[in-house]
């Protein structure tokens, strides 16, 4: 049996294919704050859609932003789905170097630590 | 006649071709803090080189980071060279949407304002 | 004559009543990125609705967040609509003191400067 | 037996009643840096006093700021005392939605994770 | 004639000698929020006092923090009083290089721009 | 046997003497991203050199920046080498008070927690 999220099953699967992996906490939002989940799901599906730039490039952008904000959870959440979208470790290396330039060495290092844990490199 | 920066003329030209446009303040660094300029120039030329990801993608990443950090000067400095690298306004639109998701509406808006001023859209 | 935003006229008016004043840049988004505008409008109308806490309290929260992030544009955008929602200068004073505690003196000062400009105090 | 903090016993109790729960680290400050503790205690008692806005509203503001700054410790420190002041989980939900708008999805998620741990929801 | 701030005249002069120059906005706080001014003045006089590190070193630290947070107003407020405390432009150069390392090139550049405007170099 | 980093052995030792202790993650960078390591090592050796301000003062600045950015890893990485450079706990206390002023109580507290863990005080 399902409550609020049944209708969103399709939207959830669609989003997973776009971002590689949906973080558990986002899935739990479907029960905890269904309206917020519903709006976020639509917004996310819109934002992550292939368009002028591919979802793979969007993933690299998201990793770089999360790293620049030194947000440990966001870095891991974004990196977790990266390989499913075909993002390579070399591409992340280069995105993190841009992070170094614009946000400093500790931001770069935070990215490298997570990359090592998640992508086994 | 030139002082410290003559030797770096080539490096400076190389960097301009990679990032689209070197901000004036960075150029002035050559006189004000030549050693820092020298190290930065080498680091920048290394980071912005085409590799696993293109410099165009790196530019989109840099715009997204600067916007997420709500850094007005960095946003403008990065956007100024974007069109010279072939970055389109549609691509920036989509990069800024990722910024919205990870850094909030005001960060997205800061990017749109600068995009409008600099890219005439 | 109107293009994409006609259908959103009602949503836009609804949002204005909730946040006190819609920033110009957000209005312009209707033309520049209509899909993003549409999603944002729905999300905003959901978030700013009176619920467990009033929109007036939400406005104080938004002012405090914008100030803590030292985001000059967001501070001004949020403060511009405050008096229309019945927020007083004394209430902003106290919200900014919480900002001082959690984000430091310069964040507090940024709020006071904007408050002085916008609320004439 | 007590050292520097005896005189502040009353101030400390007063603060606890205002913010719901004083973090252990702040208590320890009384021994480690008594002068800093003394100034902070007075400042905190002033800031958290009921005034134009209630301490309950101030607590919601503090939670929203800490979440927007993605500061894991501050989020937990602020949330720990929330229920003692009568703050409900529904109110935090709505404060966090404002955080989503101004600081992005990962900031919102950081708040939801802590809320789940601390308020059992 | 004076209102709330007469009694704080001495504290204000003391602070000016410690931080080099009190920003106008902080002076105005004496009229706008006298209680907040009073607490801040005492806290500031405590923090800026010579101790294990000199006020000159504290000024360099404050400049580096403000720059790392990319806070244009705080950078200028801190730099304005620097030369009165004997801080040299060479010392600021080196403090800003540490900022580069920990907070990225745009933070460093924000510091250099302000240094150029305020210290004429 | 060594790969890319043999040539940098001297630079690495030199840096360790300047910053007190090189974080493990930075050492690992020598294998994982040797070119990035090489550029960073040169940049770091330049930035941390004694000059107009001593490396000890630079360390205090670095601790204050990392704390202001609420970057747990950077705070610990910087504090780990502090005592090797002769930085005392009293000096860190005073640097953290400047952090309190410019970045808020939670930033100060983050510094105190790390100081307690690492410097045994």
- Which residues lie below 8 Å from residue E96, measured CB to CB, with a gap of 6+? E63, E64, E67, E108, E111, E112, E115
User: How confident is the model at residue B9, as a pLDDT?
Assistant: 87
Residue D28 has pLDDT above 90, yes or no: no
pLDDT-derived band at B103 (thresholds 50, 70, 90) equals: very high
Q: Kindly give, in sequence order, each residue whose CB lies less than 8 Å from that of residue A8, ignoring residues fewer than 6 positions away.
A: A30, A37, A38, A41
Mean predicted confidence (pLDDT) in A4-8: 55
Nearest CA in chain F to C100: F104
- Per-residue confidence (pLDDT) for residue B32, from 0 to 100: 83
State the Cα angle at A33 between A27 and A39, rounded to 5°.
80
CA distances from D48 to C31, D55, D61, D93, E24 (A): 44, 6, 11, 22, 27
CB contact under 8 Å between A32 and D116, yes or no, is yes
Tens of pLDDT, residues E55-99: 999 999 999 999 999 999 999 999 999 999 999 999 999 999 999
The residue ranking higher by pLDDT, F26 or D6, is F26
- The span from the CA of F3 to the CA of F12, in Å, is 14
Q: List CB contacts (< 8 A) between B47 and chain A.
A: 94, 97-98, 100-101
DSSP collapsed to 3 states, chain D: CCCCCHHHHHHHHHHHHHHCCCCHHHHHHHHHCHHHHHHHHHHHHHHHCCCCCCHHHHHHHHHHHHHHCCCHHHHHHHHHCCHHHCCCHHHHHHHHHHHHHHHCHHHHHHHHHHHHHHHCC
pLDDT of residue E1: 38
pLDDT band at B1 (very low <50, low <70, confident <90, very high): very low
Q: How far is B42 from chain C (nearest CA, A)?
A: 32
SS3 content of chain E, % helix, strand, coil (to 5): 80, 0, 20
Crossing angle of helices D89-103 and C34-48, in 10° steps, is 150
Interface test with D, best of A24, A25, A103 (most D CBs within 10 A): A25
Q: Is residue E52 predicted with pLDDT exceeding 50?
A: yes
- Say yes or no to pLDDT of D41 above 60: yes
Q: Taking 90 as the threshold, does the pLDDT of residue A121 lie above it?
A: no
Residues of A with CB under 8 A from a CB of C: 35-36, 39, 42-43, 46
Q: What is the pLDDT of residue C111?
A: 96
pLDDT number for residue D55: 96
pLDDT of residue D65: 98
pLDDT band at E7 (very low <50, low <70, confident <90, very high): low
* E→D interface, C-beta within 8 Å: 35-36, 39, 42-43, 46
Determine the Cα–Cα distance for residues B110 and B96; give it in Å rounded to an integer. 9
Which pLDDT value is given to residue F121? Answer: 54
pTM for this predicted structure: 0.94
Residues with Cβ within 8 Å of D13's Cβ and at least 6 positions away in sequence, in order, are none
Residue A106 to residue E107, Cβ atoms within 8 A? no
Question: C44: which chain A residues are within 8 Å (Cβ-Cβ)?
Answer: none
Quick check: D6 pLDDT over 50? yes
Indicate yes or no: CB of A104 within 8 angstroms of CB of E106.
no
Q: What mean pLDDT is predicted for residues B47-53? A: 96
Q: Is B70 close to C69, i.e. CB distance below 8 A?
A: yes
Burial of A115 (0-12, 13-18, 19+ CB in 10 A): buried
Least confident of A3-12, B33-42, C11-20: A3-12
B88-117 b/e with 16+ CB inside 10 Å = b? ebebbbbbbbbbbbbbbbbbbbbbbbbbee
- Which of A109, A113, A119 would you mutate first to test chain F, the one with the most F CBs within 10 A? A109
Q: Residue C70's closest chain B neighbor by CA?
A: B70
| Mean pLDDT across B83-89 | 96
> Residue B100: pLDDT above 70?
yes
Q: What angle do CA D97, E74, F94 make, to 5 degrees?
A: 100
- Reported as a single tens digit per residue, the pLDDT across A31-64 is 888 999 999 999 999 999 999 999 999 999 999 9
Q: How far apart are CA F22 and CA F10, in angstroms?
A: 13
| 8 Å CB contact of E70 and B66 | no
Question: What pLDDT does residue C49 have?
Answer: 95
What DSSP assignment string belongs to F52-121?
SS-HHHHHHHHHHHHHHTT-HHHHHHHHHTTGGGT--HHHHHHHHHHHHHHH-HHHHHHHHHHHHHHH--
Residue A43 is predicted with a pLDDT of 94
Q: Which of C33, C34, C38, C66 to mutate to test the interface with B (most CBs of B within 10 A)?
A: C33
Radius of gyration for chain D, computed over Cα atoms and rounded to the nearest angstrom: 15
Whether residue D5 is predicted with pLDDT greater than 80 in this model: the reply is no
Give the model's pLDDT for residue F25: 86
Q: Partners for E (CB, 8 Å, 3+ pairs)?
A: A, B, C, D, F
Q: Measuring CA to CA, which residue among B95, B65, B96, B91 is closest to residue B78?
A: B65
**pLDDT tens, N- to C-terminus, chain F (121 residues):** 345 445 578 999 999 999 999 988 888 889 888 999 999 999 999 999 999 999 999 999 999 999 999 999 999 999 999 999 999 999 999 999 999 999 999 999 999 999 999 988 5
Task: Please write the tens of the pLDDT for every residue from C24-81.
Answer: 888 888 988 899 999 999 999 999 999 999 999 999 999 999 999 999 999 999 999 9
Q: Which residue has better confidence, E25 or D107?
A: D107
pLDDT, position E6: 54
| Cross-chain residue pair F112–D33, CB shorter than 8 Å | yes
A66-95 residue pLDDT tens: 999 999 999 999 999 999 999 999 999 999
Which pLDDT band, with edges at 50, 70 and 90, does D96 fall under? Answer: very high
SS3 for A108? helix
Q: Which candidate from B47, B93, B97 shows the least CB-CB separation from A101?
A: B47
Across B22-26, D21-25, D98-102, F115-119, the highest mean pLDDT is recorded for D98-102
Q: Please give the pLDDT value at position A1.
A: 38
CB contact under 8 A, E25 and C113: yes
Q: Which residue of F has its CA nearest to A70?
A: F71
User: What local confidence, expressed as pLDDT, does residue B7 receive?
Assistant: 52
The answer to whether the Cα torsion of D96, D97, D101, D106 is positive or negative is positive
pLDDT for residue F1: 38
**Could you tell me the pLDDT band of residue D7, with boundaries at 50, 70 and 90?**
low
pLDDT given for residue A6 in this prediction? 54
For C67-121, what is each residue's pLDDT tens digit? 999 999 999 999 999 999 999 999 999 999 999 999 999 999 999 999 999 988 5
| Domains of chain E, each with CATH number or no CATH | 9-49 (no CATH), 50-121 (1.20.1290.10)
Give the per-residue pLDDT at B121: 54
**In this model, does residue B34 exceed pLDDT 60?**
yes
Interface test with C, best of A35, A36, A39 (most C CBs within 10 A): A39
Evaluate if residue D1 carries a pLDDT over 50. no
In this predicted structure, the answer to whether residue B41 has a pLDDT above a threshold of 90 is yes
């Amino acid at each position: 049996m399902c409550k609020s999220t049944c209708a969103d099953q399709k939207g959830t699967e669609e989003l997973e294919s776009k971002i590689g992996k949906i973080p558990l906490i986002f899935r739990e939002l479907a029960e905890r704050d269904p309206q917020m989940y519903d709006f976020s799901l639509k917004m996310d599906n819109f934002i992550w859609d292939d368009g002028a730039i591919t979802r793979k490039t969007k993933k690299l952008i998201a990793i770089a932003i999360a790293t620049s904000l030194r947000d440990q959870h966001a870095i891991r959440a974004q990196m977790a789905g990266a390989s499913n979208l075909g993002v390579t470790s070399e591409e992340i290396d280069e995105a993190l170097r841009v992070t170094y330039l614009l946000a400093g060495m500790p931001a770069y290092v935070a990215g490298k630590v997570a990359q090592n844990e998640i992508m086994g490199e």
